[in-house]
Amino acid sequence: MSTEKRSNFGSKIGAILAVAGSAVGLGNIWRFPYETGNNGGAAFILIYLFCVFILGIPILIAEFTIGRSSRTNTAGAYRVLAPGTQWKWLGRMGVLAGFLILSYYSVVAGWTLQYAVNAATNSFANNTPEGFKQMFATFSSNPWQPVIWLIIFLLATHFVIVRGVENGIEKASKVMMPALFIIILLLVGCSVSLPGAIGGIEFLLKPDFSKVTGSVLLSAMGQAFFSLSIGMGCMCTYASYFSKETNLTRTAFNVAIIDVIVAVLAGFIIFPAAFSVGIQPDAGPSLIFITLPNVFQQAFSGIPVLGYLFSVMFYVLLAVAALTSTISLHEVVTAYLHEEFKLTRKRAATLVTGSCIVLGTFCSLSLGVTKGFAVFGLGLFDLFDYVTAKIMLPLGGLFIAIFAGWYLDKKRVKDEITNQGTLQSTLFNVIIFILKYIAPICIAFIFINELGILK
């Protein structure tokens, strides 16, 4: 085994940035707004925040603990920590989830590249809200154009994965993330000052709990897990590259806070603008692609060159944010094939990239030519999204909480969380209590509630 040769993240800030790079991505800027729009706005956001802080952070810490104490890929981790048990299936389910997410996520990542090109070729200028809807519908249902971008995106991911952890992932995260954050802040300012933006602000801030159903709860929990990259061993795999000194609790809090801020700010870009130009908040996966071009065009109508510059920069940085997320998904599957099946890293990565191109192509086509073909009433793209975010990740989170809370030796968990007793452990008992009782009960309740058994 190649365990002794495994690389480390170079510095502490590098570890935090790489983990934040995994967490912050299309989940925040594309998926969060559209799920918020589909699920009625402010009340959804409050439940999502509850899920992030009460369930998400402890599960994130549990994944860090499992990853760093085993120092191997997510399936191998359960072999090391729970030899001879069925826990290995938890790791394997995570690898499968990562593979499915990577396939459809890359489709959306490909869209951001096309939109970067649209921005650069000035095709947002002089267009109308109706025109932007048409632009997206024509593009996303085209049989080959999105597929080419998907392939380009997966090849870019592949390239970083093959170059290794330290050189690739870390360097990419360090420069681009702060830049994206600044652009987002600017766009919030633009969006809230559009005429009629107040409707969108109210949508984000005035909760209407009468609209909260079982499926809103499940969507909020799924969104929290998806956005934090938890429930499938992604953070577990990253933590296996952490150094001994990394403070797991603090890293988890920092990352969750950054992740939530970016998502909520994305909401403050999208909804004020959507209400301003009359786009329905429940437009689904197309929401940000039909709303944002309006922001660039209208907010900068006095100084179009600024709108041009910001739009190009925004889509390029969004693509990079997506890249740091696809890298983390790809890494889970690649590390698994490399370490468990003794494939070379390069061959493992090639296998993953190739299969994702095939599956991703089917996902992309399901929005166009094969639209009529549905499984459980969902096209392949929507099916992958539903099965991973709303079933596999919460289920994974449930068992990760049980594994860390009940199965693992408490002293081992404590040593890991306190770095062998060198850090204070004021929160340790709270974390364990949540992992043991609160998280399993909440997740199970939301599942059972959605299945309708309680009615």
Q: List interacting residues with ligand TRP (CB under 6 A).
A: 22-23, 25-28, 101, 226-227, 229, 232, 234, 325, 328-329, 393
- Closer residue to ligand TRP, CB minimum distance, 18 or 273: 18
- Here the tokens at position 33 are 């707004």
Nearer to ligand TRP, 30 or 447 (CB): 30
Residue nearest to ligand TRP (CB): 27
Residues 229, 231, 234, 240, Cα dihedral to 10°: 120
Q: Smallest distance, Å, CB 304 to ligand TRP?
A: 31
Is the CB of 26 or the CB of 187 nearer to ligand TRP? 26
Helix, strand, coil percentages (3-state) for the chain, rounded to 5, are 80, 0, 20
SS3 283: coil
- DSSP structural state of residue 389: I
Question: CB of residue 234 vs ligand TRP: minimum separation in angstroms?
Answer: 4
Q: Which is nearer to ligand TRP, 197 or 383 (CB)?
A: 383
Which among 396, 369, 317, 357 has a CA at the least distance from the CA of 104?
357
Shortest approach of ligand TRP to residue 220 CB, angstroms?
A: 15
- Closer of 258 and 367 to ligand TRP (Cβ): 258
CB of 31: closest distance to ligand TRP in angstroms? 7
CB 419: neighbour CB atoms within 10 A?
17
Nearest distance from C-beta of residue 262 to ligand TRP, angstroms? 9
Among all chains, which residue has been given the structure tokens 């990259």?
Answer: 229
Structure tokens at 188: 């919030």
232 or 435: CB nearest ligand TRP: 232
CB of 389 to ligand TRP, least distance (A): 7
User: Quick one: how far is CA 23 from the chain centroid?
Assistant: 5
Residue 280: exposure state from Cβ atoms within 10 A (0-12, 13-18, ≥19): exposed
Residue 18 beta carbon to ligand TRP: minimum distance, rounded to whole angstroms? 11
Q: Which residue has the tokens 């364990």?
A: 432
Residue nearer to ligand TRP on the CB measure, 27 or 91? 27
Instruction: Tell me how crowded residue 362 is: count the other CB atoms within 10 A of its CB.
Output: 18
Q: What are phi and psi of 189, to 5 degrees?
A: -55, -45
Q: How far is the CB of 174 from ligand TRP (least distance, A)?
A: 18
Whole-number Cα distances in Å, 194 to 290, 304, 320? 16, 15, 28
Biggest alpha carbon distance in the chain?
67
Radius of gyration of the chain, Cα coordinates, nearest whole angstrom: 21
First to last CA, the chain: 51
- Pick between residue 234 and residue 319 the one whose CB is nearest to ligand TRP: 234
